[in-house]
A and B are shown apart, each in its own frame.
Chain A
Amino acid sequence: MSKQNAIQLSSVSKTFDGFKALSDADFTARWGEVHALLGENGAGKSSLMNIVAGLYGPEGGSLFIDDNPVKLKGPKEAAKLGIGMVHQHFKLVTPFTVAENILLNLSHIQTSGLYRERLRRVSDDIRAMAERIGFGIDPDARIDQLSIAEQQRVEILKVLLAGAKILILDEPTAVLTEEEAENLLTTVRGFAREGAAVILVTHKMNDVLRYADQVTIMRSGRTIKSLKPDSVSVDELVKLTVGESAPEQTAPVEQRTPGEPYLNVKGLTSTGGHRALNGLNLTLNKGEIYGIAGVGGNGQSELANALMGIPEGVEGTMELIGEGDLADFDAARRRAIGVAAIPADRYGSALAGPLSIADNFALGDIHSGRYGPFWYLKTGAIEADAAEAVRQFDVQGVRSLKQKSALLSGGNAQKLVIAREFSHPPKLVLAHSPSRGLDVKATEAVRERLRAARDSGAAVLLISEDLDEVMAMADRIGVMSAGRIVTEFSQPADRQAIGQAMVNHV
């Protein structure tokens, strides 16, 4: 009997405290194909794949691996069956080296020999595998020295070396530049051609159309349809995903006359050994969106941190005209001035996951006294404002304002951050990859908020590794490379020329 199906799930359900994340979902992926799992944020894609990876136990339904019924007790067991998952948020120990991280994951395979001996053997394996699939990864590099794209490669090497034949990639291109994404998807398609099964969890139509052999569409916990991507039009695919008429394509950015300068960054340089920022100069005007484009790892995160007041060793000035240097302001002063920050790492620097939605929201206006003096917190006022903001910013999945914010899906968590940051009309908006991991509707909602802020006179700085986003949003575009802005473009800008500038200075 020839075994064709790598994974088969039938009528799988999963409930989280009363909320049906999956209801009777079916999914089949075959050996040798790239299978895209398409759906909006919160459609249940990750939950379904977490069941395959042994992280969640399903409540009914059955799972077959290679046509055998299995019951996974945990991720280790899934790994033994050749299932490897690369999560959207990487599971790497940052101060450790690549080889150490991978060895950690192989603990159930590599048990004999001295530690150093095993580490050396793993390093050799990494080099061999990296060379075979065209990943330039040094086994001795520390994780925190690697860019996001490189860390992702480490994750892929990790599961491959653990013997994965079924590779699940959760939103792999969300953090990558166009070119990096292309390379990655070409590589994983190569795995499929060699007989592995690759599952691509995504909400990007382009990835699906260009790289997938089969696509399964999910919507609110159900698998809607499984089909060949070349058998349908994009419109149809979008309709199946969204379930209703899709949001309209945004019109190209028109030319605008910018206001007067508001933020003046001069000679921003990292103080550490590695010059992540290297004499960056930048002027941001009122009433414009300034987009920073560039290949990931060219100092974007460091710039965002420095501007948002997240600890980052830098020298140079970040003068807010008429106010003073941003570096001298504490959080209360920033809020009073009207600085809104939307960091890339939502749960690392914007939302306290274990705390309630109301608590997280309250910080937005806590210093002004709107929620009572220091000795008395007006919970009623906080909850009323939070409820209003949740409604206005369309934050979904809120069953109670007292619910932990960690339970919101990525897009809704981002909306909550924006709702808090925009609870006062902002004068300066700092946004770093604001639509990362968000679906079409949520992305458009986020962008609309940024445009509205710009139209009401705010200076908006948009740092994004997604060139499409920068092209669609920015009035002026600065290309960042090796820690500085190397070229600036005004709209209408030539995409080709920007792409050239991004890679030429690396």
Chain B
Amino acid sequence: MSDFALQRPLTKRRYTLEVRQQMAWHWQALILAGSMILGLLISGTILVVAGVPAGELLNEFVILTLFDSQSLTSVLFQASPLIMVGLAGCLAFRAKFWNLGLEGQMIFGAIGATAITMWDIGAPSMRLPLMIAAAMACGLLWAVAPVLLRLKLQVNEIVSTLMLNYIAINVLLHLMYGAWKDPKDAFPYSPKYESFELLPELGNGLSLSIPIAIGIALLVLWFVNISRAGLYLRFVDKSPKVASAVGVPVAKTILMAVLFSGALAGLAGLMVAAGQEGRLTHSFYVGYGFSGILIAFLARNNPIAATCAALLIATLFVAGRSLQVFYQIPFAMVQLIQAVLVICVASSDFFIRHRIRRVQGGD
């Protein structure tokens, strides 16, 4: 029993790691903000190395993007569908349902809205509300099969939602190259929407989609924080096994959250089609699925944080575009910055869960 090496006694230990019981939300926000700033500093360094003059960075990213009204408009223009997919991600992930089918649901949302325009359903004044309803309904319906399969037969939703994306993409291509192709256009696009089928502008270039996005964010905030469903979701999220034993209607809760998620993804599809493109195109959805997951992750499934994260990602896109034009920075660099941000935020989690404490040594 005595052949082990002599080791340093305990009293030399200077720092210990403690698991925190809880952390005030403003501290969490501060740590999160700090990690984002760190991520931006690292990104800035990378850009400087890539040849962007250091002095121009601030100008490019902050001043020209956020303080120039035209750029700000385009950030907001870019942001609303991102907010929608981000919120859709938050809802599904809170129910421990890995909805990788945001793009598929988005495509069907846009197809639903476009169907209203193609078949001229409803009076012009009712057209836009009908399109919104159709988009949400179709996005929701595209999420029905995977959630039911998961609840009834334990089919893994990661696979089913992802595969349904490919079906949705091919349905979209089928329509764009076939029945719904605009005969006046060489590209695989649908005919342009009528003016009353577009999300109206509110003057100064802002689209109606921004207030809608903020309204929906508040709705989601209510759903997860104020309604009883939010309490149920917390149980499903944190202790699924206990949830059913103590009387949380687990299946109903998951169903509700996932269908809500699908409806919001569908709405994102409408925002791109009727708010940005003015028609259905064959590739409008590209990148939104991943962005939605990313935003939900950055925001820790918190709807307000998701809205902020979506704005940040939108800023990156807009600023990235001008970097591309003026400094010949490849667009991959924008993706690299996204990735750096994700890593920084992911590691900040450690400080929210733990506390490093200095301990008085005993020697």
A residues neighboring B (CB under 8 Å):
3, 11-12, 15-17, 57-63, 65-71, 80-82, 165, 308-311, 330-332, 334-335, 343, 347-355, 359-360, 362-363, 366-367, 371-377, 399-400, 402-404, 407
Contact = CB atoms under 8 A, between A and B. Distances in A.
A317 B13 CA distance: 61
Q: State which size class the interface on B falls in.
A: 35 or more
Interface string B224-244: 001111110011001101111
B226 to A, nearest CB: 6
A363 B247 contact: yes
Contacts of A376: 226-228
Interface in B210-233: 222, 226-231
B319 to A, nearest CB: 38
B227 A374 contact: yes
A367 B362 contact: no
B116 to A, nearest CB: 29
A355 B12 CA distance: 36
B355 interface: yes
Contact of B248 (A61, A334, A363): A363
Given A310-B245, A366-B228, A66 B13 contact: no
Nearest to A56: B16
Contacts of A57: 10, 13, 16-17
B123 interface: no
10 contacts: A61-B362, A69-B6, A71-B12, A71-B13, A330-B247, A354-B239, A359-B231, A363-B235, A363-B248, A376-B227
Give the residue among A330, A332, A352, A377 with the most B Cβ atoms within 10 A.
A352
A165 B22 CA distance: 39
Which of B10, B16, B22, B229 has its CB near the most chain A CB atoms (within 10 A)? Answer: B10
Contacts of A82: 1
A402 B21 CA distance: 10
B10 A17 contact: no
B238 A355 contact: yes
A374 B228 contact: yes
Contact of B241 (A58, A348, A373): A348
Nearest to A349: B245
A348 B248 CA distance: 14
B174 interface: no
Contacts of A58: 10, 13
Interface in B229-286: 229-231, 234-235, 238-239, 241-249
A71 B246 contact: no
Contact of A354 (B9, B11, B238, B361): B238
Contacts of B18: 15-17
Contacts of B247: 330-332, 334-335, 363, 366-367
B20 A17 contact: yes
A81 B10 contact: no
B359 A17 contact: no
A63 B10 contact: yes
Contacts of A360: 246
A70 B362 contact: no
A377 B227 contact: yes
Given A11-B362, A352-B243, A400-B22, A59 B238 contact: no
B2 interface: yes
B4 A81 contact: yes
Nearest to B17: A57
A383 B238 CA distance: 20
Given A310-B245, A331-B247, A350-B245, A60 B6 contact: no
Nearest to B23: A17
User: Top 6 closest A-B pairs, CB basis?
Assistant: A331-B247, A352-B239, A349-B245, A354-B238, A59-B359, A69-B9
A63 to B, nearest CB: 6
Contact of B13 (A59, A69, A359, A402): A59
B242 A348 contact: yes
B228 A59 contact: no
Contacts of B46: none
Contacts of B357: 15, 59
Contact of A71 (B8, B230, B360): B8
Nearest to A421: B246
B246 A350 contact: yes
Given A61-B362, A331-B246, A349-B246, A66 B1 contact: yes
Contacts of A308: 245
Given A59-B13, A402-B22, A355 B1 contact: no
Contacts of A15: 18, 357
Given A66-B1, A359-B235, A402-B22, 12 more contacts: A3-B1, A15-B18, A57-B10, A60-B360, A332-B247, A349-B246, A355-B238, A372-B228, A374-B227, A374-B228, A377-B226, A407-B21
A355 B4 CA distance: 43
A350 B2 contact: no
Contact of A403 (B10, B22, B242): B22
B158 interface: no
Indicate the member of A12, A71, A351 with the most B CB atoms within 10 Å: A71
B7 interface: yes
B346 interface: no
Contact of B362 (A60, A359, A374, A403): A60
A3 B79 CA distance: 71
Given A68-B4, A367-B247, A355 B239 contact: yes
Nearest to A367: B247
Nearest to B247: A331
Contacts of A362: 231
A366 B231 contact: yes
Nearest to B4: A81
B10 A66 contact: no
Contact of A62 (B9, B227, B245, B359): B9
B167 interface: no
A181 B2 CA distance: 33
A80 B4 contact: yes
